[in-house]
Amino acid sequence: MSERTTHESAPSSSLGDSLARGWDDRGDELPPADWGRRPGARRTGTVWLFALIITAMAFGHAWFSDELTGQAFLAWATIFTAISFQAMPFLVFGVALSAALVAFVPTSAYRRFIPDKASYAVPVAGASGALLPGCECASVPIAGSLIKRGVAPAAALTFLLAAPSINPIVMIATAVAFAGQPEMVLARFTASLLASVVIGWIWVRFGRTDWLRLPSQSTTPGASSWQVFRESMLHDIMHAGGYLVVGALAAATLNVMVPREWLLTVAEAPILSVLVLAALAILLSICSEADAFVAVSLTDFSPTAKLAFMVIGPIVDLKLIAMQAGVFGWRFVVRFAPLCLVVGLLSTFLIGALIL
């Protein structure tokens, strides 16, 4: 049984390490030969594949790095890397926090803090979004783990929307960017919180649980908290992280390809300009902690249009859509993203008319 594959040509007895022993024992114990063979061969294959990838990267680094001179390509690569790296600490932080929620906080703790009735839980969740400093990359996995822990989906989704929109860091960034315009900070806070809570209530009324695809909580009985923590973190990084890269690819492509002058031609039209900046927020996928600085630089647009940019960006954007698809599934995203967009825009127009 030990010479099952060509890769493992050496007799297992000579390999004293636990690695080989693990494979051999597995093969010996499983009745059909095929079952034992596949995981072992696949694992060896995986290791070879990564060895190949690393070697290829080394050659690529040596040979191609200086050849890559296309200006547009390099600008694209810079923006792609920038979005990925900027989101990475937030992703790791969010994933660690959500894994800690799953592994170390007992379910009863949530019962105590969050009202049972979903329609009361929604505003509580919205307000508590103001406490978590982080951007949208962090809040997606956290919302996922809240739902897994029995928090009403509508409340968890409200938290998902509110946390990146109204947390203290975002508010400070907005105040710094719009120095001398405190009404913009107030408008952003109100419009974002209003949109999050209304979306939560709409979800309470019309949302269906089967639209949400959450992985079954596969806590092995007897697994220690640290194992649960590790497994939960791995799972979330792989899902949310993979889609984060998809979002970064799309956003970098649009960032390089859509010339800003196109935008300026529509800046004068009252309603259209709001829609254009909302669309720009979706496409650019800028982190919610930075979007105020971009909004303030779009000087030709009306204050309401800038507000739309800052209200829509944290609740709907390409990166977020891709990450939500990874955590909750596409059936959820095709309903949730349009809902967020419509409610976010209505809230923007309302608050814009009242405050700005």
Calpha distance 206→208 (Å, rounded): 7
Whether the Cβ atoms of residue 355 and residue 186 lie closer than 8 Å to each other: yes
Whether the Cβ atoms of residue 340 and residue 197 lie closer than 8 Å to each other: no
Which residues in the 319-348 window bind other proteins by CB under 8 A? 326
Task: Name which position in 68, 105, 109, 269 contacts other proteins (CB under 8 A).
Answer: 68
Which residues in the 70-129 window bind other proteins by CB under 8 A? 71-72, 74-75, 77-86, 88-89, 91-93, 96
Binding window for other proteins (CB under 8 A); candidates: 2-10, 122-130, 141-149, 171-179 = 171-179
Cα four-point dihedral sign 314, 315, 320, 323: positive
How many angstroms separate the Cα of 343 from the Cα of each of 111, 153, 233?
A: 29, 18, 32
Calpha distance 51→48 (Å, rounded): 5
Closer CB to other proteins, residue 112 or residue 262? Answer: 262
Calpha distance 175→95 (Å, rounded): 28
Asked if residue 37 binds other proteins (CB under 8 A), the reply is: no
Task: Name which position in 50, 104, 206, 330 contacts other proteins (CB under 8 A).
Answer: 50
Asked if residue 64 binds other proteins (CB under 8 A), the reply is: yes
Least distance CB 219 / other proteins (angstroms): 9
Least distance CB 318 / other proteins (angstroms): 12
Q: Retrieve residue 275's tokens.
A: 């829609």
Whether the Cβ atoms of residue 139 and residue 317 lie closer than 8 Å to each other: no
Least distance CB 352 / other proteins (angstroms): 15
Task: Name which position in 256, 266, 279, 356 contacts other proteins (CB under 8 A).
Answer: 256
Task: Name which position in 124, 266, 290, 350 contacts other proteins (CB under 8 A).
Answer: 290
Closer CB to other proteins, residue 72 or residue 116? Answer: 72
Least distance CB 76 / other proteins (angstroms): 8
Which residues in the 212-241 window bind other proteins by CB under 8 A? 215-216, 218, 220-227, 230-231, 233-235, 237-239, 241
Closer CB to other proteins, residue 47 or residue 269? Answer: 47
Asked if residue 208 binds other proteins (CB under 8 A), the reply is: no
Least distance CB 33 / other proteins (angstroms): 15
Count interface residues toward other proteins (CB under 8 A): 99
Give the DSSP H/E element, type plus range, for residue 33.
helix 33-63
Asked if residue 243 binds other proteins (CB under 8 A), the reply is: yes
Whether the Cβ atoms of residue 308 and residue 302 lie closer than 8 Å to each other: no
Least distance CB 96 / other proteins (angstroms): 7
Asked if residue 275 binds other proteins (CB under 8 A), the reply is: no
User: Which ranges in the chain belong to alpha helices (H)?
Assistant: 18-29, 33-63, 71-104, 107-113, 118-128, 136-148, 153-166, 168-177, 182-206, 225-257, 260-265, 270-284, 291-297, 303-315, 318-328, 330-355
Measure CA of the first residue to CA of the last residue in the chain; give whole Å.
75
- Residues comprising the chain, all counted: 356
- For 336, the 3-state DSSP assignment is helix
Query: Residues with Cβ < 8 Å from 192, sequence gap 6 or more?
Result: 161, 162, 165, 166, 310, 311, 314, 315, 347
Binding window for other proteins (CB under 8 A); candidates: 119-127, 204-212, 272-280, 294-302 = 294-302
Least distance CB 17 / other proteins (angstroms): 9
Which residues in the 127-156 window bind other proteins by CB under 8 A? none
Closer CB to other proteins, residue 66 or residue 116? Answer: 66
